[in-house]
Amino acid sequence: MTIKGFIRGSKLEGKVALITGAASGIGKATATKFIDNGAKVVIADIQHQLGQETAERLGPNASFVACDVTKESEISNAVDFTVSMHNQLDIMYCNAGVPCKTSPSIVDLDLAMFDKVMNINVRGVMGGIKHASRVMIPRRTGSILCTASVTGIMGGLAQHTYSVSKSAVIGIVRSVASELSKHGIRVNSISPFAIPTSFVMDEMSQAFRGLDYRELLQMVNNAGALEGANCEPDDVANAALYLVSHDAKYVSGHNLVVDGGFTSFKSLGFPAPNEVH
């Protein structure tokens, strides 16, 4: 159906999704995409007011549940809330995550911060998968998705703590897929390149205090490898739609990298032969 040039899909007609960290950024873009494709979406986030506002803006097929992914009872409650509201849970997207604002050197590693970030980015994902599985296994169907990162694939792209937390997410997906495949449940992750959401821009503005928003945005976008395009929340939302839809019915244990090729290659940086005399 086309409404004023807007194309509504039906890939997720009749499906129910729970997305953590969907008050803003990638999660919000994915909630929008899922709803535009016929799903009912529950937004779970620690930001209560923003989460409510996002749900209201997305219309009657969106609702909000307060959830801090570091608290198992709140994850469990978010899953039960979704099932009591819509009778089922088809898609669990463990997307909530935080950056790590500490010194880049291992020598100065802040272990308290390490615990805090792992608690959200890793334990929070484990909890989400645990409680989604609790309701998906009896139905012998479901799709679980997690947001990892290019920083979990290659070293040197972020502080150790964040990088390690995202490597763990990729590992979680592989480990859990091995069990859940026996129950007909698929588990995948997406590893995006840097996207100028508040997550990245807050960190950038702290690191480069002299630069304005436009200059910081240019820095983020210039870091990409693919000419003519920048990584945007919608690129992740499109990948998420593919992975949770029937189009990916035989894809599980996969980490879909959305990085314009960045982690696939390195250049030797030699001049072109015709530039050397």
Ligand X SMILES: NC(=O)c1ccc[n+]([C@@H]2O[C@H](COP(=O)([O-])OP(=O)(O)OC[C@H]3O[C@@H](n4cnc5c(N)ncnc54)[C@H](O)[C@@H]3O)[C@@H](O)[C@H]2O)c1
70 near ligand X, judged by CB under 6 A = yes
Q: What's the min distance (Å) between Cβ of 26 and ligand X?
A: 4
| Pairing mode, strands 16-20 and 2-3 | unpaired
| 96 near ligand X, judged by CB under 6 A | yes
- Residue of 93, 162, 213, 242 marked catalytic: 162
User: Of the two residues 181 and 229, which places its CB atom closer to ligand X in the complex?
Assistant: 229
Of the candidates 259, 240, 254, 143, the residue with the CA atom closest to the CA atom of residue 195: 259
Q: How far apart are CA 250 and CA 116, in angstroms?
A: 35
Q: Which is nearer to ligand X, 101 or 277 (CB)?
A: 101
Q: Where are the alpha helices (DSSP H) in 59-110?
A: 72-86
Indicate the SS3 state at residue 96: coil
Which residues is 258 bridged to in the sheet?
192
Tokens of 103: 């010194």
Give the separation between CA 138 and CA 255, rounded to whole angstroms: 26
Distance of CA 22 to the CA centre of its chain: 9
Residue from 20, 63, 159, 161 binding ligand X (CB under 6 A): 20
Instruction: Give the x/- contact pattern for ligand X in 24-63, rule: CB under 6 A.
Output: xxxx-----------------xxx----------------
Smallest gap from Cβ 3 to ligand X, in A, equals: 27
Q: Is 83 in the site for ligand X (CB under 6 A)?
A: no
Q: Which of 31, 69, 79, 170 binds ligand X (CB under 6 A)?
A: 69
Side-chain-side CA neighbours of 251 within 13 Å: the count stands at 18
Residue window 210-249: x/- pattern of binding to ligand X, with contact defined by CB under 6 A: ----------------------------------------
Query: Does the active-site annotation cover 93?
Result: no
- List residues with catalytic annotation: 162
